[in-house]
Amino acid sequence: MKIAVLGSTGRTGMYVLQRGIRRGDELTAFTRRPQLLENVTGLKNIVAGDALHVSDLRNALENQDAVIAIVGDRRLPVAAEITGNLIQAMYESSVCRLVCVSSYLLGSTRPRVITPFFQWLLRHSLADRFAADQLIIASKTDWTIVRATRLHDKPATGNVRLQTGEHEFESGPYEICRADLASVLLDTVTNQYASKSIINVTWGQNK
């Protein structure tokens, strides 16, 4: 499958590239820092550009089947702006399938350790991420939003729990490694039952 990956040189994006190449997907990496991919072999294409420019996104989406988007920055809330540009570029490029990473904090009250101070600290990035999610939901794309719990770089386990967005996880762990999240994202691209859905993801076996 031909998949464009936005945020490809970020911490999660690099795992998506590694695992997608291993699976045999034809990946196009879109990035402002193409030099970080000089030693990555197996990519179909590398497109240098800035997601703040629709024309750059169109270049990356040419002849693609789907998009995996991992966008957002706690220091610079631009997820909503980038998402709006991406949706426009998808329309113009006739690409329908979109899988986008979001935050489990947007629809959850668990775990209880999430303090009001922590919510306040992340208020700008969460508001930006919420606005981006709303743009996706209102779009005409074939979208899936994947809301992940706390991310880290521990080794992959292959053991994940998935829950539809209207349901919270009733118990922990409320964390998942980026490698396992990357596998979920790649699996979700071809999952027709995930269309127009919000999916929560964390570690642990589904019961």
pLDDT surpassing 50 at residue 41:
yes
Q: Taking the complete model, does pTM exceed 0.85, yes or no? A: yes
Q: Which residue has the higher pLDDT, 111 or 19?
A: 19
In tens, the pLDDT along 135-192 reads: 999 999 999 999 999 999 999 999 999 988 777 888 879 899 999 999 999 999 999 8
Are the CB atoms for 180 and 160 separated by under 8 Å? yes
Cα separation, 71 vs 89, in Å, equals 15
Helix segments in 94-191, DSSP class H: 116-121, 123-138, 178-189
Cα separation, 155 vs 153, in Å, equals 7
With the CA atoms of 99, 96, 107 and 122 taken in that order, what torsion angle do they form, in degrees rounded to the nearest 10?
70
pLDDT surpassing 90 at residue 61:
yes
Tell me the domain boundaries of the chain: 2-203
Which pair of structure tokens corresponds to residue 50?
């800035």
Query: What is the DSSP annotation of 7-30?
Result: TTTSHHHHHHHHHHHHHT-EEEEE
pLDDT surpassing 90 at residue 120:
no
Work out the burial of residue 87: count CB atoms within 10 Å of its CB; fewer than 13 is exposed, 13-18 middle, 19 or more buried: buried
Q: Which residue has the higher pLDDT, 122 or 66?
A: 66
Residue 119: strand, helix, or coil: helix
Are the CB atoms for 84 and 137 separated by under 8 Å? no
Q: What are the strands, taking DSSP E only, across the chain?
A: 2-6, 26-31, 45-48, 66-69, 97-103, 142-148, 150-152, 160-164, 175-177, 197-203
pLDDT recorded at residue 113: 45
Residues 55, 61, 64: CA angle, nearest 5 degrees: 165
pLDDT surpassing 70 at residue 200:
yes
CATH architecture for the domain at 2-203: 3-Layer(aba) Sandwich (3.40)
pLDDT recorded at residue 114: 58
Are the CB atoms for 145 and 131 separated by under 8 Å? no
Query: pLDDT above 90 covers what percent of the chain?
Result: 76
- Tell me what the pLDDT averaged over the chain comes to: 90
pLDDT recorded at residue 143: 98
